[in-house]
Amino acid sequence: MESTGSRAGAAVPGPVLFARYAYPPNRLGLCGPEDAPALLDGAAAGADRQLRALALGFEGAYPYLRLIARENGIADPLDARVVDAYWLGSPLVARVGQRPMHRDLADRFRPRMDGADWRWLEAAVAGGSHPIHAFHVLEVFPRIGLLRGGRPDPIVGTMDACRIRWGRVTAVNGTRLQVDARSLELHEGRLRLGAEHPEDVAGWLGPGGLLDGAVVGDWVSLHWGWACDRLGAGQLARLAAWTDAALASANRTI
208-230 per-position pLDDT tens digit: 677 878 999 999 999 999 999 99
| Higher-scoring residue by pLDDT: 194, 254 | 194
Contacts of 161 (CB under 8 A, 6+ apart): 223, 224, 225
79-91 per-position pLDDT tens digit: 999 999 999 999 9
**Residue pair 168/179 in contact by the 8 Å Cβ criterion:** yes
Assess whether pLDDT exceeds 50 at residue 152.
no
9-24 per-position pLDDT tens digit: 358 899 999 999 999 9
Q: So what's the pLDDT on residue 213?
A: 84
**Residue pair 208/7 in contact by the 8 Å Cβ criterion:** yes
User: Stretch 221-245: mean pLDDT, rounded?
Assistant: 96
DSSP the chain: ----SSBTTBPPPHHHHHHHHHHHHHHTTSSS-S-HHHHHHHHHHT-HHHHHHHHTT-TTHHHHHHHHHHHTT-S-TT-HHHHHHHHH--HHHHTS-HHHHHHHHHHHHGGGS-HHHHHHHHHHHHTT--SSHHHIIIIIHHHH-BTTTB--SSHHHHHHHHS-EEEEEEEEETTEEEEEE--EEEETTEEEE---EEEEEEEPEETTEETTT--TT-EEEEETTEEEEE--HHHHHHHHHHHHHHHHHHHHH-
Q: Is the peptide bond before 154 cis (omega within 30 degrees of 0)?
A: yes
pTM score, two decimals?
0.89
List Cα–Cα distances, 93 to 69, 85, 230, in angstroms: 9, 6, 21
Report which residue type is found at 76: D
DSSP 32-101: S-S-HHHHHHHHHHT-HHHHHHHHTT-TTHHHHHHHHHHHTT-S-TT-HHHHHHHHH--HHHHTS-HHHH
Q: So what's the pLDDT on residue 148?
A: 39
Across the chain, mean pLDDT equals 88
